Structures are given as structure tokens and as C-alpha cells.
Structure 1
Amino acid sequence: RHFSVRGYTCYRADHPDDCHKGGAALLVRSDIKHQPLLPIIENEMQIARIEISLSGVSFQIAAFYSAGANSLRASDVWAFTHELGSRFIIGGDFNAKNRIFGSTVANPRGNMLASEVQHLGITVLHPLQPTHYPEHVGQRPDI
């Protein structure tokens, strides 16, 4: 499988089953100096990542995906945040709902992730408007 956008470099973390599910991708404008890093590829999560330096300060930028049906434990969160280092920006689909992520409801994964985020002192930024509008009438819009 190949994906490209002119003027950008694509870094992928495909699902380990090499099937058409899951995975994460990160697009980086080609003129931005950066260092590709090995992706984190596990059944529970896939993370594509790079490292950049701004004003002499290095940090990682990562794209994350974990299917809601997969188990994601606090130890997984600790492990991947440790791997990202002390300075990082991570975005993606965590399939986690909690008020600190801008959701109006919570689920067990969201509660666990919120607890870990607070414990690790991570700053959370989220959109103010829903990013997903379900087709099913009984479901709420989702961040």
C-alpha cells in the first residue's frame, strides 16, 4: 500500500496484521527538517512518529490509533509516553471518552486515560466541536 501527497512525506504505522484496519499515519511537509523514528506497532496501538528541533529543543510529534475493541492498559500508556520522551505532541484516535478530552460522556478507557494523563502531568488540548457525527440516532456526537 502506498499513500502520498505532493510536498509531504508520509510516515505510517500499519496494524501488525497487515490488513485494512487500524494504523496511524503522519504527514510532514517536505521542507520541515525532521528525523523519522521507528513506529510503535502493537495489536493494541499503532503510533507513527518523528522528531523535530525548534530553537535547539527536540521533541516528538506522533499520530496514534487504538481500536475501541482493543485492550489499552495504564501500563501501555506509561510505556508509549515514556518512549515519546519528556516533550511530545500526540494526536489521533484513542477511542477514549472523558470530560477532560471534551466529551460529554465517559467510558472506562477514557477514565483510565484521563487518570494517566493527570498522573503524568500531560496537557490535553481538544477541539471544541464534535469531530464525529454518528449515523445512529441514539448515539451522541463525538470528539
Structure 2
Amino acid sequence: MHPDCTAHGGSAIIIKSNIKHYETEPFRTPKIQATSVVVEDWRGHLTVTALYSPPKHVIKKEEYINFFKTLGPRFIAGGDYNSKNTQWGSLLTTPRGRQLQAAINDLHLNTISSGEPTYWPTDPEKVPDLVDFGIVKGIPTGCFKCTSLQELSSDHSVVLLEVSQKFTCSNSMAMLHEHL
């Protein structure tokens, strides 16, 4: 849910029911809305985060750093950053993309993307570009496979981020964790 308690934006995570996990407190500001779940893999706790960042806000490097620090020492934070930088495959670099890249550099994070456009504007004056991707910490980038899928009738492609890790399993029931 958005911090103003209205339905727009948001994020969701689907976790396979036999993977041991728990939901953490959602991160909700007007600039970043994120849902996080902690799973256990063979190395310990790993935070998996889905986020949405509305395009209308200016976000400074320090705000990104503060957000990433809430995720712990190992995380995957994927979603619609609405931020462009050639470092993760966008056609151009925006001021917001420079701020995010500065935070990534300061915290020694890595980006994971398909390298393909993920946003398909309806405005014919705009060109498709990449704004949906993942940022990771504490996991080798070789453990990921990232693919853009044209599965939904949306102006964004689905980005499938597959992780080759061994997760701890449990016998709990399946649950959908979402915050719209």
C-alpha cells in the first residue's frame, strides 16, 4: 500500500510454499514502496525485495543508501526503479540514474538486468527503455539469470530473475505477500 493509504503503485512477492521464509516490515515512503521477505539459503538469511519507485520524485543518493541499508548484508532488490543508466542497460542516463549508480558504487552493490527494454510508453514521442531491474548484495552475479517476458498487457515487461541457490525448505502453506 502507498503511504497515503490509496491504491496505486505497490509491490508483491510470490515465494514457493516449501521455502522457509518470513515477511519483514514493508518500506513505505512516497519515493520508494517495497515488500521484503527473508528466505534461508545455504549461507543464511537472504532478503528478497520487490519495489516500486514512482517517476515523479527526485531521489538523492543518500535516500537510496538509507533504503538499501534496511535490507541487511545479503539481498536481491528488484522492481520498477523508474531510473535510467547505461550501466544497467538503459539507452541513456538520467539524473535519478546517476544518483542510484552513486549509491550502488558507494555500497559496492551489483545490478542484474536483461539488457532489454522493460518499459513500453504509449506516447509515440518516447522510446522503450530499461527501468525494471535488480540490485544485489552478497551474492555472486553468476548465480542469476534475468529475462524480460512479454506476458502481461501492461506498459512494463515482466522481469524474471532466477537465482541458482539452495534454499532451506519447510512444510508451511503457500502465501502471497503483497502491498498495493
- TM interval, short-chain normalised: 0.7 to 0.9
Match of 1:122 in 2: 109
- Residue pairs, 1:93-108, within 5 angstroms: 93-108=80-95
Q: Pick one of 4, 13, 16 that aligns with 1:26.
A: 13
The one-letter code sitting in structure 1 at the alignment partner of 2:80 is D
Q: After the TM superposition, list the runs of 4 or more consecutive aligned residues in structure 1 that deviate by more than 3 angstroms.
A: none
Match of 1:39 in 2: 26
Which runs of 5 or more residues in structure 2 are unaligned?
131-180
Q: Pick one of 45, 48, 64 that aligns with 1:77.
A: 64
Which runs of 5 or more residues in structure 1 are unaligned?
1-13
Q: Give the whole-Å Cα distance in 2 for the aligned partners of 1:69 and 1:50.
A: 27
Q: SS state of the match for residue 112, structure 1?
A: helix
**Alignment TM-score, normalising by the size of structure 1:** 0.85
Structure ranking higher in strand proportion: 2
Q: Give the whole-Å Cα distance in 2 for the aligned partners of 1:112 and 1:31.
A: 38
Higher relative contact order (CA 8 A, sep 6+): 2
Match of 1:136 in 2: 123
Number of matched pairs: 130
**Larger deviation, residues 75-84 vs 20-29:** 20-29
When the two chains are superposed, the root-mean-square deviation of aligned CA atoms in Å is 1.2
**Alignment TM-score, normalising by the size of structure 2:** 0.68
Q: SS state of the match for residue 117, structure 1?
A: helix
The one-letter code sitting in structure 2 at the alignment partner of 1:47 is A
CA apart distance, 1:127:
1.1
Same amino acid, percent of matched pairs: 30
